[in-house]
Amino acid sequence: MLGIIAAAAAMFAATNIDDIVVLTVLFLASSKGRPRPWEIVGGQYLGFITLVGVSVLAALGLTLVPDEWVGWLGLLPLGIGVFGLIRFLRRRGEEEEEGAISAVGLLSVAGITIANGADNIAIYTPIFRTMAPQDTVVTIIVFLILVAVWCALGRVVGTHPKVIETLEKIEHWLVPAVFIGLGLFILISSGVLTRMFSA
């Protein structure tokens, strides 16, 4: 049992280390009002449960989403980042209390989580396929506990007064840039852009 827990924790950390950056940026944006902390946590759980559910179904032999379509999810964070950047550029010079990505809510956070973790499906699926059912349940429970830990870490860093003070001057650029970068990374690493331009 301890071996399964340790392996699950290591697998979660290895496949979700980039989520810390995304969560930190989301909580940094939440200091301006949106997204609200409960939307970030709820969206993270909703997105991660979706990823795990798809992985379990794929392990049982069901393919819900063809691999070549998964990369298109990168358009979501890319769109949010571009929208936030345009919004900032249009309102530059005006007094603005809202954050650069104030339009992000529960479903958007879930979508970002799914897009950012879509490659996790390829890792989780073969592992779930080889696990005994009880070990799969333990692994999923460990994953769900660690989602809360990840959210807590993101909130501690993203709402720390010194972090906010340091990043406040570049927050309007930083937050959209992170999402644009994430979206482009997903589109490029998944091969979507290559297939699109080679067609």
CA distances in angstroms from 147 to 16, 22, 25, 29, listed in the order given: 9, 13, 16, 19
Tens digit of each residue's pLDDT (9 = 90 or more) over 139-195: 999 999 999 999 999 898 878 777 767 766 666 677 778 778 877 877 777 777 676
Domain parsing of the chain, residue ranges: 1-159, 164-198
Tens digit of each residue's pLDDT (9 = 90 or more) over 34-69: 788 899 999 999 999 999 998 898 888 765 556 566
* Whole-number percent of the chain with pLDDT over 70: 80
60 contacts 126 by C-beta, under 8 angstroms: no
